[in-house]
């Protein structure tokens, strides 16, 4: 099964924020159907919960309703991110993009959800604007 997530590798809370994306200008909701929501949850790894052991202690969160477990885990993850590095949770600098990311770069200067997609689009746009500005009217 292909990973449907917009930015695999981002923290769980941002995976949940990024379930709406517009890769070609049309908004896609990764949680629109039960089937797509299950595919996203399986890719995010949230449906496979394990009990911690002495070698790998882990926080266990439980809700009365199992359907709420993914949302509770995402909320807990977001609180962790906001407590440890709130300035590193950012929206993509491409104004046409709706994705968020957690900046793990050493100097904290990441601007794009993906350099290969939004970074290159914005570079091409700036180049186009510079060339256009030099042309006579």
Residues lying near Zn ion in the complex (CB under 5 A) are found at 92, 94, 97, 99, 113, 118
Q: Which structure tokens are listed for 88?
A: 């590193």
Q: Which is nearer to Zn ion, 69 or 88 (CB)?
A: 88
- Within 59-135, where are the H helices? 69-84, 120-134
Q: Which is nearer to Zn ion, 73 or 122 (CB)?
A: 122
Listed residue (115, 4, 15, 8) closest to 71, CA to CA = 15
User: Shortest gap between Cβ of 28 and Zn ion (angstroms)?
Assistant: 14
User: Shortest gap between Cβ of 124 and Zn ion (angstroms)?
Assistant: 14
Q: Which is nearer to Zn ion, 5 or 46 (CB)?
A: 5
Listed residue (92, 116, 124) closest to 10, CA to CA = 92
User: Shortest gap between Cβ of 111 and Zn ion (angstroms)?
Assistant: 9
User: Shortest gap between Cβ of 122 and Zn ion (angstroms)?
Assistant: 9
Listed residue (79, 1, 85) closest to 45, CA to CA = 1
**Cβ–Cβ < 8 Å for 92, 113:** yes
Q: Which is nearer to Zn ion, 13 or 73 (CB)?
A: 13
How many residues does the structure list for the chain?
Answer: 137
């Amino acid at each position: 099964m292909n990973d449907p997530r917009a930015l695999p590798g981002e923290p769980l809370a941002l995976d949940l924020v990024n379930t709406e994306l517009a890769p070609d200008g049309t908004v896609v909701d990764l949680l629109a159907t039960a089937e797509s929501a299950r595919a996203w949850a399986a890719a995010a790894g949230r449906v496979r919960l394990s009990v911690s052991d002495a070698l790998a202690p882990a926080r266990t969160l439980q809700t009365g309703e199992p359907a709420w477990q993914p949302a509770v885990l995402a909320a807990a993850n977001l609180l962790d991110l906001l407590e440890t590095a709130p300035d590193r949770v950012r929206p993509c600098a491409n104004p046409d993009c709706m994705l968020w990311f957690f900046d793990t770069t050493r100097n904290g200067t990441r601007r794009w959800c993906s350099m290969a997609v939004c970074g290159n689009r914005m570079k091409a746009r700036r180049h186009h604007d510079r060339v256009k500005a030099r042309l006579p009217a």
